[in-house]
Structure 1
Amino acid sequence: MGSRLRIVLGQLNLLVGDVPGNAAKIISNALRARDELKAHVVVFPELALTGYPPEDLLLRPDLTVRVELALGEMLREISGIDVIVGYPKRQYGKLFNAASLLRDGKVAATYFKHRLPNYGVFDEKRYFVEGTNPCVIDLQGVPTGITLCEDVWEQGPVEQAQNAGAKLMINLNASPFHKNKGKERFDVVARRARANGVPIVYLNLVGGQDELVFDGDSFVVDGRGEMTQRTPAFVEGLYLVEVDADGQVTPITGPIMPELSEEESVYTALVLGVRDYIGKNGFAGAVIGLSGGIDSALTLCLAVDAIGASRVEAVMMPSQYTAAMSLEDARFQATTLGVKYSFIPIDPMFESFLGALKEEFKGMEPDTTEENIQARIRGTLLMAISNKTRKMVLTTGNKSEMSVGYATLYGDMAGGFAAIKDVPKTLVYRLAEYRNKIKPVIPRRVFERPPSAELAPDQQDTDSLPPYSVLDPILERYVELDQSTDDIIAAGFDEAIVRRVLRMVERNEYKRRQAAPGVRITPRAFGRDRRYPITSGYGAETKNEPGGNGPAGGI
């Protein structure tokens, strides 16, 4: 048997800003890779020392000091194994997104990222300067090029390393998840490997960071672009990769974990995002307003799967408009999942509000104002429980509602984290079906009954919105694909419905700006991805059309 290079992929979940903690985790895992897996080299993700994305922490001078101290500790504590680690490095008065080889107590080589993404959720040109030189290191006789994330998405860096003698590429990543991202990554890396005839080891970060979730899903391709190994998605761990270094450099086929279905990958991403947001921010648990509808049902499942039933509390807050089946279904779900369940009727508080506002409202007919008062009472109750118990409120609004403003500010929008904020309503149903296949916890009639906010007599969502089967494709085209009004109409959608929906989207930016952060699972989420002005004349030609005044769903 010829010689083999043993590479361990450190697919770790790290905490942004916790440089000493991240360094300690890297050190312990490097020693495990050396002692347990007998590795020659262990690789850690892009900007592993600071976590990703560190955002404006990178502008703080003391961050550089912390990074240098952590590197020094790593050099002292790690021996007998090469370490490749990502971190921000200040040099020549400039800041670079860097990766270094640590060997025998010294920084043996350093690579500066060439391609800095500055689109979607990425703002790297705000902080970093591009590198220009390749970095080829010797790993057990194998000339190996180092690149960082975006470097494999564009032509140039891999070719440059190959021209400098690289026979193997190692690519460090912090690539966030969205639907079908794994296939997109593999296709890009496979094309790059085929174009250059060089194997590529692709390591990705795992874990939740504010709105972003990193799914790991690291893999290896050979020089023909064929996958030879893939790690579990969303699972932190150390994974051994072996490369035949006798003559031609060839990755040895290892475990290839199966690709997750869209529902399983999205559900798992949501669970991880909720778990890490609650855990990394130090909350005792989660509290959820459980209505008996599909959105809160799915959110409760996510919370229980993320942090365990013992740390989750469900609160039912019925009014005179709440259907008996809603009460029954909410209680069934809470009982089945084993969470603490509270029952707080809001009618007495609602009547007190109306009494206090009697003179202000004299001579005016009831409208969405009274509906919003109910939602705000519920928001106040949930926030009070949150304050007292240190459990974070998980809001239950979905992307369809957030898009058109079908939500109440300081009411159902009140909370710390919006678990399904980026999940269209039609996908909410699919995810709930997926969860019920694991264990039936959501009653069947929750899927079958028409969705309703239950804030007025016999209310249904379709009183204010088109059916979700019509609404969601329009929103996908407008919000995620940036299609124009004419393009959407030309695709076969009713013109009046399209214009009405787009008016709703345009005039509710102010609500979305005040919404809680939530897990990103689509290529264009509200927040980091899609940044529109609140005050804007764009689309003004539609604002004077009938129905163009006032926010959908109330302020």
Structure 2
Amino acid sequence: MNYGFVKVAAASPHVRVGDCKFNTERIEGQIAIADGKGVQIIVFPELSITGYTCGDLFGQQLLLEEAEMGLIQILNNTRQLDIISIIGMPIVVDSTLVNAAVVIQKGKVLGAVAKTYLPNYKEFYEQRWFTSSTQLTRSNVRLCGQIIPIGANLLFETSSTTFGIEICEDLWATIPPSSALALQGAEIIFNMSADNEGIGKHNYVCSLISQQSARCISGYVFASCGFGESTTDVVFAGNGIIYENGTQLAHSERFSIKEQLTISEIDIERIRAERRVNTTYAANRGNLGRLDPIRIYTEFVNKRELTLTRPINPHPFIPQGAELNERCEEVFSIQVSALAQRLKHTEAKTAVIGISGGLDSTLALLVCVKTYDKLGLSRKDILGITMPGFGTTDRTYLNAIELMKSLGISMREISIKEACIQHFKDINHDINVHDVTYENSQARERTQILMDIANQTRGMVIGTGDLSELALGWATYNGDHMSMYGINSSIPKTLVRHLVQWVAENEIDNTSQKTLLDIVDTPISPELIPADENGEINQKTEDLVGPYELHDFFLYYVLRFGFRPSKIFFLATIAFKGSYDDETIKKWLQTFFRRFFTQQFKRSCLPDGPKVGSISISPRGDWRMPSDASPASWLKECEKL
């Protein structure tokens, strides 16, 4: 299976200006190499058969005939290959010259896309030689003995995707042709360019491509002229750049004197998922009018074994490098702003929060402290309640106490042991039976304490549960599942740890920092089962429900793109290679889908909480699902993996 991926390439071949025979051979060579690597569609730079910098040589009959003969040679020598190639060349149309992108496959010319916007300023003077697509008076032309469609509104449909083409300056237009092509169904845009270099220009070009691919919700493959073009006045760096919906997947080495193929895979299923849920995309299509494109159908491409070259981040909620600090700061700021508004609106006198010494309650407390500081309120009006139970260990207990002391909030300790023992007697439950009743009664007792103290102090109970726990239903219904405001409700577990560490390293005093860093290193546990003989945590969540890094990976692709289990499994085996074997990934993927479906009833009545990222499971916002939906189809596919 190819799981919706289309392998594409941007080529940067050697070129000799005006030497069509040499250029043709270099193009053929790169087509062959790309086909051997499983590339399905390859794009070459602008006017790649002749060279872009021919100047007034474009008026020479010999050059134009040599260009067509070169294309005939490419057709003959690649007719056995499945690959679709997009090649730049000048084409004569009714005694005018068009700067065109010619699409070929298996010895046939499928069509030619004419450049629309011809730059005629500063170092550019294309209108001296070429005619815009807007001035064409016909929709077909004879090329290489074939009658082919020509224009700017061509769409090419393959068995895997639909693509469109624009040429260089078209991208720089106020409304690029690719915008219309995308609304008409193009999922990948190919751009053959002769973009020359200048100080700071490369970053600007990348931003244009990024924004256009995001605006069009598409893939974007950019191939620019390189070494060998004339340097009489300008220099070309040979840029091969591939983006997908605003994210760069691959780029070539700039200013290389070697030929290059920039290869990656565009996830068409991901693009289609984004477009399905983006109602603005559909509305924009309706406003486009009746500009019917010419649709060209390509031949079937034999499926090959898919080898991904694009990286798959095992932690999709966590950005890499310097961006992580920026992300943490932004998320924390969103949480603080959300809580500040809720406190002001409700006129709550206190914020009541249960402090366990674990990650989630720590993050919620840090948000409270920052919010009270921002509002100019006393930290003493934050009521931290630690409620040791049967499974509380010295490590988490002491961390909870030390953190509350160092942060200067009001602190109370209320043991739940005696209340739970009495409750077990009342309902005739054996205290030595450590089942779900034993565990959940402790969670509900803690929630009752928090709610009642909030009533006593005209306060608000701040929820601590995170997105990952809520997705899996790893919360006691009407216990830690409930609060008056769930400040962590859309933050995945894998990000919680980084947020706490970021606060420790950037926003807190040295005394609190030491405690926070120890909390970061503490195993995740609800601590509802008594500790082991050494006083250590005996109930580790990830041993029971599975590694959160796997569940967050599954959650991201299920909710963000609606991917099926087989594709998520395929991506996970790549992302976690060397960390988890296939059977382990399959086991926890089954657990994820089983719990995700059966625990929806808990998510259907969640308290308010801020959305901070691209995913939320609020029943009022991003995720509306019936509590009795069947997981049968998803689990059946998991079994077949």
TM-score (norm 1): 0.50
Tell me the residue number matched to 1:492: 572
Q: Report the alpha carbon displacement of residue 260 of structure 1 after superposing the two structures with TM.
A: 7.9
Tell me the residue number matched to 1:505: 596
Contact 2:553 2:572 (8 Å CA) reproduced: no
Match of residue 468, structure 1, among 545, 548, 551: 548
Confirm or deny that 1:431 pairs with 2:499.
Answer: yes
- CA distance, structure 1, for counterparts of residue 384 and residue 469 of structure 2: 22
Tell me the residue number matched to 2:578: none
Confirm or deny that 1:395 pairs with 2:463.
Answer: yes
Aligned residue for 1:430, secondary structure, equals helix
Confirm or deny that 1:281 pairs with 2:346.
Answer: yes
Tell me the residue number matched to 1:529: 622
Tell me the residue number matched to 1:319: 389
Closer, same or farther: CA 370–523 of 1 in aligned 2, 3 Å:
same
Tell me the residue number matched to 2:420: 350
- CA distance, structure 1, for counterparts of residue 492 and residue 324 of structure 2: 23
Q: Report the alpha carbon displacement of residue 191 of structure 1 after superposing the two structures with TM.
A: 7.5
Contact 2:565 2:634 (8 Å CA) reproduced: no
Contact 1:503 1:543 (8 Å CA) reproduced: no
Listed one character per residue, the Cα deviations across residues 73-119 of structure 1 (whole Å, up to 9, x for unaligned) are xxxxxxxxxxxxxxxxxxxxxxxxxxxxxxxxxxxxxxxxxxxxxxx
Closer, same or farther: CA 190–471 of 1 in aligned 2, 3 Å:
closer
Closer, same or farther: CA 463–369 of 1 in aligned 2, 3 Å:
farther
Q: Which moved more, 1:459-468 or 1:297-306?
A: 459-468
Q: Report the alpha carbon displacement of residue 387 of structure 1 after superposing the two structures with TM.
A: 1.0
Closer, same or farther: CA 311–327 of 1 in aligned 2, 3 Å:
same
- CA distance, structure 1, for counterparts of residue 540 and residue 372 of structure 2: 33
Tell me the residue number matched to 1:335: 405
Q: Report the alpha carbon displacement of residue 366 of structure 1 after superposing the two structures with TM.
A: 3.5
Contact 1:290 1:330 (8 Å CA) reproduced: yes
Tell me the residue number matched to 1:453: 526
Aligned residue for 2:626, secondary structure, equals coil
Q: Report the alpha carbon displacement of residue 321 of structure 1 after superposing the two structures with TM.
A: 1.3
Q: Report the alpha carbon displacement of residue 390 of structure 1 after superposing the two structures with TM.
A: 1.4
Unaligned runs of 5+ in 2: 1-177, 181-206, 217-322, 374-378, 531-537, 574-584
Tell me the residue number matched to 2:337: 272
Listed one character per residue, the Cα deviations across residues 399-447 of structure 1 (whole Å, up to 9, x for unaligned) are 1100100001111122111101100111001111111122142512211
- CA distance, structure 2, for counterparts of residue 191 and residue 448 of structure 1: 41
Alignment of 1:406-445 (within 5 A): 406-437=474-505, 438-439=507-508, 440=510, 441-442=512-513, 443=515, 444-445=517-518
Contact 1:401 1:407 (8 Å CA) reproduced: yes
Contact 2:565 2:637 (8 Å CA) reproduced: no
Q: Report the alpha carbon displacement of residue 518 of structure 1 after superposing the two structures with TM.
A: 1.0
Q: Report the alpha carbon displacement of residue 282 of structure 1 after superposing the two structures with TM.
A: 2.2
- CA distance, structure 2, for counterparts of residue 537 and residue 293 of structure 1: 34
Q: Report the alpha carbon displacement of residue 451 of structure 1 after superposing the two structures with TM.
A: 0.8
- CA distance, structure 2, for counterparts of residue 373 and residue 432 of structure 1: 29
What is the one-letter code of the residue matched to 1:351?
A: I
Aligned residue for 2:617, secondary structure, equals coil
- CA distance, structure 1, for counterparts of residue 212 and residue 356 of structure 2: 44
Listed one character per residue, the Cα deviations across residues 31-63 of structure 1 (whole Å, up to 9, x for unaligned) are xxxxxxxxxxxxxxxxxxxxxxxxxxxxxxxxx
Listed one character per residue, the Cα deviations across residues 213-270 of structure 1 (whole Å, up to 9, x for unaligned) are xxxxxxxxxxxxxxxxxxxxxxxxxxxxxxxxxxxxxxxxxxxxx9981111111011
Q: Which moved more, 1:333-342 or 1:433-442?
A: 433-442
- CA distance, structure 2, for counterparts of residue 472 and residue 532 of structure 1: 19
Q: Which runs of 4+ in 1 moved over 2 A?
A: 186-192, 361-366, 537-546
Larger Rg: 2
- CA distance, structure 2, for counterparts of residue 263 and residue 334 of structure 1: 22
TM-score (norm 2): 0.44
Query: Identity over the aligned pairs, expressed in percent?
Result: 25
Alignment of 1:70-469 (within 5 A): 187=211, 261-308=326-373, 309-358=379-428, 361=429, 365-437=433-505, 438-439=507-508, 440=510, 441-442=512-513, 443=515, 444-457=517-530, 458-469=538-549
What is the one-letter code of the residue matched to 2:443?
A: A
What is the one-letter code of the residue matched to 2:539?
A: Q
Contact 1:317 1:345 (8 Å CA) reproduced: yes
Closer, same or farther: CA 470–390 of 1 in aligned 2, 3 Å:
same
Listed one character per residue, the Cα deviations across residues 250-308 of structure 1 (whole Å, up to 9, x for unaligned) are xxxxxxxx998111111101110111112122222311000011110110000111124
- CA distance, structure 2, for counterparts of residue 433 and residue 366 of structure 1: 33
What is the one-letter code of the residue matched to 2:421?
A: E
Contact 1:506 1:539 (8 Å CA) reproduced: no
Q: Report the alpha carbon displacement of residue 391 of structure 1 after superposing the two structures with TM.
A: 1.0
Confirm or deny that 1:478 pairs with 2:548.
Answer: no
Q: Report the alpha carbon displacement of residue 479 of structure 1 after superposing the two structures with TM.
A: 2.2
Listed one character per residue, the Cα deviations across residues 439-469 of structure 1 (whole Å, up to 9, x for unaligned) are 1425122111211100013111123222222
Aligned residue for 2:572, secondary structure, equals coil
Closer, same or farther: CA 294–500 of 1 in aligned 2, 3 Å:
same
Contact 2:325 2:502 (8 Å CA) reproduced: no
What is the one-letter code of the residue matched to 1:406?
A: W
Tell me the residue number matched to 2:139: none
Listed one character per residue, the Cα deviations across residues 167-192 of structure 1 (whole Å, up to 9, x for unaligned) are xxxxxxxxxxxxxxxx99x9479979
Q: Report the alpha carbon displacement of residue 397 of structure 1 after superposing the two structures with TM.
A: 0.5
Aligned residue for 1:491, secondary structure, equals helix
Closer, same or farther: CA 311–188 of 1 in aligned 2, 3 Å:
farther
- CA distance, structure 2, for counterparts of residue 259 and residue 460 of structure 1: 27
Closer, same or farther: CA 411–363 of 1 in aligned 2, 3 Å:
closer
Aligned residue for 1:342, secondary structure, equals strand
- CA distance, structure 2, for counterparts of residue 315 and residue 338 of structure 1: 13
Aligned residue for 1:313, secondary structure, equals strand
What is the one-letter code of the residue matched to 1:377?
A: E
- CA distance, structure 2, for counterparts of residue 282 and residue 399 of structure 1: 27
Listed one character per residue, the Cα deviations across residues 112-160 of structure 1 (whole Å, up to 9, x for unaligned) are xxxxxxxxxxxxxxxxxxxxxxxxxxxxxxxxxxxxxxxxxx979xxxx
What is the one-letter code of the residue matched to 1:468?
A: Y
Closer, same or farther: CA 503–543 of 1 in aligned 2, 3 Å:
farther
Q: Report the alpha carbon displacement of residue 499 of structure 1 after superposing the two structures with TM.
A: 1.4
Tell me the residue number matched to 2:125: none
What is the one-letter code of the residue matched to 1:526?
A: I
Closer, same or farther: CA 483–341 of 1 in aligned 2, 3 Å:
same
- CA distance, structure 2, for counterparts of residue 535 and residue 259 of structure 1: 38
- CA distance, structure 2, for counterparts of residue 522 and residue 190 of structure 1: 17
Task: Supply the RMSD in Å over aligned alpha carbons.
Answer: 3.3
Tell me the residue number matched to 2:128: none
What is the one-letter code of the residue matched to 2:390?
A: Q
Closer, same or farther: CA 260–345 of 1 in aligned 2, 3 Å:
closer
Q: Report the alpha carbon displacement of residue 491 of structure 1 after superposing the two structures with TM.
A: 1.2
